[in-house]
A and B are shown apart, each in its own frame.
Chain A
Amino acid sequence: MSHGRYEMVVGLEVHVQLRTRTKVFCRCSTQFGDPPNQNTCPVCLALPGALPVLNGRAVEFAVRSGLALGCAIRERSVFARKNYFYPDLPKGYQISQFEMPLCEHGFVALASGRTIGITRIHMEEDAGKSVHDRFAGYTAIDLNRSGVPLIEIVSEPELSSSAEAGAYLRAVKEILLYAGVSDCSMEEGSLRVDANVSARRHGEQALRTRTEIKNLNAFSNVERALEIEFARHCAVHDAGGAVVQQTMLYDADRNSVRPARSKEGSQDYRYFPDPDLPPLVLSRAYIEGIRATLPEFPSARRVRYRTDFAVSAVEADLLTAEPSLGDYFEVVARGSGDSKAAAHWVMGEVLAARNAAGAGTGIPVPAEALAELIRMVKAGTVSNTAAKTIYATLVAEGGAARLIAERDGLLLVGDETSLRGWVDDVFKENPDEAARFIGGERRLQGVLIGLVMKKSQGSADPQKLSQLIGERVGR
């Protein structure tokens, strides 16, 4: 590419909806998808005389997010009013944090080994939704989202490629999912990204003028938009021009980035401390209490899985992508005493069954039941093939692996009398093959074993069977 002389510089602002039942400054539901303006009250409609009262759970989740992302938590933080007019911003200001945010100085460690700094995480309220295409000549306003709790995670401008931006976003999402603070669903708008991008010569220290890209509704779009905008910056610099600091919008349908039409001087937000809300004062004990309940995070978990469970790097990544999947794997691995098999089962049958059941349904089959099944395979009580049948039954009906195996006749038959009976029958029914095999044509062993397996409907223990058939040679 022509912009090989330039280095991309990216900082990301990630807005994440906290998983509370009620809004951040009133007790309206945060339910997604209800009829317009149903979840509104005097506070989130900004009726004259209404006042905000902060949701304690939102604070807890915000602190949790900050701790999960390695931040220092301020014991005293301040809410501020960010003033601007927009019809879905009912008060004419957004309650946010400005000079004293709740969390500062965090970081995210990427798999590449690079560490990306987090400047700050602050709490704020969401605006409502403007619908432009429903009524001719009008914009329709739905304030159900108005006042939904958000945190904004602001990274340092330390991301140096679109791929790294993508890796950062995936890491942040993974950590927040682990922390249990958000659903992080871009489809439902519970995770949104704005990207600040600039270009500079390799080795250059100072930052050049940046632009901000909004309307990024998928991680892949972030990466695409960054490439497009970076290329534009490079071209401007090469032509000796100056990049204008402005807001850009990404158009996913056309895969293009274009300037937003914003009015001159409209960025003067006139922040000042919100006089309706005293400073938020948190005790050290409160903060440490939350830290004590943090789960193990994926990066640490991956290292542990590789040492404790001897899984590969790729397997460790897959197993830790979701907290609940990792938890499940650990129970299966310990219960079965075979972590290798447990990993194969979880990444294969278990994920397939979970995906078939649809998102949000949880993992089918209790981990203990799968562990028992794996133990049965290991002990030679059932075959691998039969185990898959049993697993399917567990998914469909539930129950215990051993009982299903017995009921459906899927236990391997290992007693000599039954095996000899089947072998005798097969040798009688196929005298030609039997004679050639006994005469030394060893390659027919597989054929004969197959015939016995067929007769036994798969229940013959393959090891004992091959031993028995082997004894017939040279008799």
Chain B
Amino acid sequence: MTASLLAGAAAGIAAAVQAGTATAVALVAESFRRGREVNAGRDGLNAFVSSDEDLSRALAASAPCGGPLAGVPVAIKDNIATTYLTTSCGSKMLQGYVSPFEATAARKLREAGAVLIGKTTMDEFGMGSSTEHCAFGSAKNPIDPTRVPGGSSGGSAVAVAAGICPIALGSETGGSVRQPAAFCGIVGVKPTYGRVSRFGLVAFASSLDHVGVFGRTVDDAALALEVIAGPDTAHDATSAVRESPALRHVARDLEAMIIGLPREYFPASLSAEMRDRCDRAIAALRARGAEIRHVSLPNTALAIPAYYIIAPAECAANLARFDGVRYGVRIDGDGLVGMYEATRSGGFGAEVTRRILLGTYVLSAGYYDAYYRKAMQVRERIRQDFAAVFASGVHALFTPTTPTPAFRFGERSDPYAMYLSDIFTVTANLAELPAMSLPIGRVTGLPVGGQVIAPKFAEADMFRVAYALEAELGQAAHR
């Protein structure tokens, strides 16, 4: 009973717990049993950085059972602060660190009745697209464990894809929810910037960071986003003064909707199979009544260069607080400066170090105008590209989420080749737009995702497209 419940929808779990036909405690036990079954541990999928069944059972016993997520086991990325388990950001710098305060998104999940079952594996501080940059080992793709699950929120995607929990929180700065969702064959949502409070999300690049959600289905993701969205201006000055949107009751047809296909997202280099899966999805959208229109976002090619100026610059400042003084690791050296340098070179991994140095360089005297200021201006042009398309009557855009399915471990050793994994996703972060990935089929046996991008705060339209596409594709989404 509980096993089949866990394999079903989050809303079904909550209904059963509310009705008293299932308990949160039993669901925790089932979630951990499922974890053992799929070998989610260190020697297997390595989905979690920290997890403790006794603790989760205790949390379940005291969880409110009237909320919209009553008894639903959830995994949370290890860079979202929780007062239980670690918040180590996949970094040696914060190994074993337990936060003394709770992120707004984590608090809202808990208050809705969800039960934390583990903090998930991630690229260190969110910097990476594969979880290979986690100080505590990579997570593995449950569909093919020789391949990466994507990143940086790889562990959360694995936990959902492997059936350990129906919902998980991730975060993204350039596609770190949508890309692993695509690689693992599940749904991943990045809401509008400001829609979900960043309070308690350990910052990588503040102007690009978002809390996002994973679900096995569009409806699970909608339910989770409804719970965590909403204003939090007392704790996050970038939080939008917008009530949480109603996402689960949108229309399921696409009559009178115009969906744009930006030509820059369908390059000649896209494989024939990938193109075929996209065409099938586009046909599904049309079948549901949508008008398909070809559009152009001319500055798309500038997105990765602009992103890799802005994100490292913000990261260099955001990660300056890890200095061995108040919390985290301290490694002694020669005097104070020696302590700083030993702590920061010993605490940060190679990718984080690279980005801090890059960010420091582009902000340093003489380079600010050429790099940072220029990148911010280019970012504005990318925003204007989207604004112009949406102003022309297009309601949402459809694109592939990634150029390829999941790659093998070690396959992308050149940093810039890895950065290109984010080529279709970074634009929505730069433009602060809501975007989500949902399964549209398999390529060479591996899942690939389709991306829906909507105007700012138009999550309801985005979900309308996603619900319709999911329903129209049916089982084809996983073939």
Could you say which residues of chain A place their CB within 8 Å of the CB of B382? none
B360 touches A48 (CB 8 A): no
Interface membership of B95, Cβ < 8 A: no
A49 touches B365 (CB 8 A): no
CA distance in complex: A47, B207 (Å): 18
B321 touches A92 (CB 8 A): yes
A276 touches B202 (CB 8 A): no
Interface membership of A51, Cβ < 8 A: yes
Interface membership of B398, Cβ < 8 A: no
Interface membership of A407, Cβ < 8 A: no
Interface membership of B32, Cβ < 8 A: no
**What distance in Å separates the Cβ of A268 from its nearest Cβ neighbour in chain B?**
5
**What distance in Å separates the Cβ of B425 from its nearest Cβ neighbour in chain A?**
19
Interface membership of A54, Cβ < 8 A: yes
A49 touches B340 (CB 8 A): no
Digit string of B318-343 for contact with A (CB within 8 Å is 1, else 0)?
01111101110000000010001000
B100, B198, B336: the one within 8 Å of A42 (CB): B100
* Residues A124-171 near B (CB distance < 8 A): 139, 141
B323 touches A87 (CB 8 A): yes
A272 touches B372 (CB 8 A): yes
Interface centre among B80, B97, B235, B322 (most CB of A within 10 A): B235
Query: For chain B, which range describes its interface: under 10, 10 to 19, 20 to 34, or 35 or more residues?
Result: 35 or more
A270 touches B364 (CB 8 A): yes
Interface membership of B89, Cβ < 8 A: yes
Digit string of B85-126 for contact with A (CB within 8 Å is 1, else 0)?
001010000100101110100000000000000000000000
A49, A93, A141: the one within 8 Å of B317 (CB): A93
A51, A92, A270: the one within 8 Å of B363 (CB): A270
Could you say which residues of chain B place their CB within 8 Å of the CB of A276? 203, 206, 237-238
**What distance in Å separates the Cβ of A329 from its nearest Cβ neighbour in chain B?**
44
A47 touches B101 (CB 8 A): yes
Interface membership of A81, Cβ < 8 A: yes
Could you say which residues of chain B place their CB within 8 Å of the CB of A32? none
Interface membership of B313, Cβ < 8 A: yes
**What distance in Å separates the Cβ of A346 from its nearest Cβ neighbour in chain B?**
47
B372 touches A48 (CB 8 A): no
**Do A48 and B363 contact each other (CB < 8 Å), given the known contacts A53-B237, A93-B320, A141-B325?**
no
Interface membership of A52, Cβ < 8 A: yes
Query: For chain A, which range describes its interface: under 10, 10 to 19, 20 to 34, or 35 or more residues?
Result: 20 to 34
B233, B340, B364: the one within 8 Å of A268 (CB): B364
> In chain A, what residue has the closest Cβ to B106?
A49
B237, B313, B316: the one within 8 Å of A278 (CB): B237
Interface membership of A90, Cβ < 8 A: yes
**Do A92 and B317 contact each other (CB < 8 Å), given the known contacts A53-B234, A54-B237?**
yes
* Residues A78-92 near B (CB distance < 8 A): 81, 83, 85, 87, 90-92
Interface membership of B307, Cβ < 8 A: no
B325 touches A48 (CB 8 A): no
**What distance in Å separates the Cβ of A84 from its nearest Cβ neighbour in chain B?**
9
Could you say which residues of chain B place their CB within 8 Å of the CB of A51? 198-199, 203, 235-238
A49, A90, A93: the one within 8 Å of B103 (CB): A49
Could you say which residues of chain B place their CB within 8 Å of the CB of A93? 317, 320
A85 touches B103 (CB 8 A): no
A42 touches B237 (CB 8 A): no
A42, A49, A85: the one within 8 Å of B323 (CB): A85
Interface membership of B200, Cβ < 8 A: yes
A90 touches B364 (CB 8 A): no
**Do A47 and B206 contact each other (CB < 8 Å), given the known contacts A139-B336, A272-B313?**
no
A49 touches B234 (CB 8 A): no
B201, B237, B321, B364: the one within 8 Å of A46 (CB): B321
Interface membership of A275, Cβ < 8 A: yes
A48 touches B94 (CB 8 A): yes
Could you say which residues of chain B place their CB within 8 Å of the CB of A91? 317, 320-321
CA distance in complex: A38, B45 (Å): 43
B321 touches A272 (CB 8 A): no
**What distance in Å separates the Cβ of B81 from its nearest Cβ neighbour in chain A?**
4
Could you say which residues of chain A place their CB within 8 Å of the CB of B206? 274-276
CA distance in complex: A47, B314 (Å): 17
Could you say which residues of chain A place their CB within 8 Å of the CB of B321? 46, 48, 90-92
**Do A90 and B235 contact each other (CB < 8 Å), given the known contacts A48-B94, A85-B340?**
no
**Do A275 and B207 contact each other (CB < 8 Å), given the known contacts A48-B94, A81-B317, A270-B363?**
yes
CA distance in complex: A396, B86 (Å): 63
A48 touches B336 (CB 8 A): no
Could you say which residues of chain A place their CB within 8 Å of the CB of B363? 83, 270, 272
Report which B residues bind A (CB closer than 8 A).
79-81, 87, 89, 94, 97, 99-101, 103, 198-203, 205-207, 233-238, 313-314, 316-317, 319-323, 325-327, 336, 340, 360, 363-365, 368, 372
Report which A residues bind B (CB closer than 8 A).
42, 45-54, 81, 83, 85, 87, 90-93, 139, 141, 268, 270-272, 274-278
Q: Can you list 17 A-B pairs, Cβ within 8 angstroms, ordered by A?
A: A47-B327, A48-B89, A48-B97, A48-B327, A49-B81, A49-B101, A49-B203, A51-B198, A51-B199, A53-B234, A83-B320, A85-B320, A90-B321, A90-B326, A270-B316, A272-B368, A275-B314
Q: A48-B203, A83-B363 known; 6 other A-B pairs, CB under 8 Å?
A: A48-B97, A53-B235, A83-B320, A85-B340, A87-B336, A276-B203
